[in-house]
């Protein structure tokens, strides 16, 4: 058991991670912007409000709490928002990460950074940890720069890249691709769904377990943690419609080009997760297994 500080604990991944880490017996200092939005605060969790762009707030928490590891999930995570607020995105995603790495060094904490498939250009797909990075969005660019800083850390570090994370809508948060598709289909609402963006969608609970495995085994370096089946959002929708007994015809199959969005999305990402399977013992569940569970709940 150890004491782990999590940033971005109010977010989609952060909320799940806090729950999984405490279930695994760790003590968690959950940090987020403003008041807590954690659905459940169990015994092992303490929430502390901290803005990662503030020069000293996290430093003070780390100083007093003395965590053994930091998992850095906080980010400006929306591609279009990053494109439109480039300076702010850089401040949150890059400069705050650099400060947090210094804090980790000062207090000798293992540092785990959560990154994204958007560091790739989407030409090749099924990326390994060794593939060349070439982001096509400002979001991806900021995550690439943050990754580069993490790699200079003078404490053991890990970068966990993940891809199209899904699950139920989370406490006080946005919908996820899964909950959006399910809710539209269930309500009989027409929706436009992209069929030319290929990903290996990641169940949020699998991701949280993957992060815990890296932490607990003190594995360093870069790790690709995602599902292992390739889907487009449209094909996820087809599977959900079939399992839920809903009309797949409600979905209009479209291409990404039919949307005008400020930030570009890579066409074909998805991860080769062989390294995580062999070296961490990571095993994601299949999409149909997770979907059945989420639809039943």
The DSSP string of 200-249 is: --EEHHHHHHHHHHHHHTT--EEEE---SS-B-HHHHHHHHHHHHT--GG
Closest distance between ligand NAP and the C-beta of residue 68, in Å? Answer: 21
CB closer to ligand NAP, 26 vs 143: 143
126 CB neighbour count, 10 Å cutoff: 16
Within residues 148-177, the interface with ligand NAP by CB under 6 A covers 162-165, 173
32 binds ligand NAP (CB under 6 A): yes
Indicate the DSSP class of residue 4: E
**How many amino acids of this chain bind ligand NAP (CB under 6 A)?**
25
CB closer to ligand NAP, 33 vs 219: 33
Closest distance between ligand NAP and the C-beta of residue 148, in Å? Answer: 15
Rg over alpha carbons for the chain, rounded to the nearest Å, is: 19
Per CB under 6 A, which region of 20-28, 50-58, 243-251, 271-279 contacts ligand NAP? 50-58
Distances (CA, A) of 217 to 108, 122, 193, 198, 220: 17, 31, 39, 31, 9
52 binds ligand NAP (CB under 6 A): yes
Among 41, 51, 65, 195, binds ligand NAP (CB under 6 A): 51
CA angle 173, 137, 238 (to 5 degrees): 55
The residues of the shown chain that bind ligand NAP, judged by CB under 6 A, are: 8, 10-14, 32-34, 51-53, 73-77, 92, 114, 116, 162-165, 173
């Amino acid at each position: 058991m150890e004491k782990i500080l999590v940033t971005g604990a109010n977010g989609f991944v952060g909320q799940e991670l806090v729950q999984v880490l405490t279930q695994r017996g760790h003590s968690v200092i959950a940090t987020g912007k403003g008041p807590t939005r954690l659905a459940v605060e169990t015994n092992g969790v303490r929430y502390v409000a901290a803005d990662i762009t503030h020069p000293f707030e996290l430093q003070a928490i780390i100083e007093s709490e003395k965590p053994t590891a930091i998992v850095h999930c906080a980010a400006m995570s929306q591609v279009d928002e990053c494109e439109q607020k480039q300076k702010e995105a850089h401040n949150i995603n890059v400069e705050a990460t650099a400060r947090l790495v210094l804090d980790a060094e000062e207090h000798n904490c293992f540092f785990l950074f959560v990154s994204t498939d958007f560091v790739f250009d989407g030409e090749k797909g099924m990326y390994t940890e060794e593939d060349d990075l070439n982001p096509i969005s400002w979001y991806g660019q900021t995550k690439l720069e943050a990754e580069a800083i993490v790699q200079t850390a003078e404490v053991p570090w890990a970068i966990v890249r993940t891809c199209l994370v899904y699950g139920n809508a989370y406490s006080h948060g946005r919908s996820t691709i899964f909950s959006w598709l399910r809710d539209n289909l269930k309500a009989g609402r027409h929706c436009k769904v992209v069929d030319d963006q290929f990903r290996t969608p990641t169940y949020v609970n699998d991701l949280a377990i993957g992060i815990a495995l890296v932490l607990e085994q003190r594995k360093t370096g870069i790790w690709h943690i995602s599902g292992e089946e390739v889907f487009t959002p449209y094909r996820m929708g087809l599977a959900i419609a079939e399992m839920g007994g809903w009309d797949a015809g409600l979905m209009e199959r479209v291409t990404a080009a039919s949307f005008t969005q400020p930030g570009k999305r890579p066409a074909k990402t998805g991860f080769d997760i062989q390294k995580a399977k062999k070296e961490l013992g990571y095993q994601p569940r299949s999409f149909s297994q997770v979907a059945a569970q989420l639809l039943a709940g």
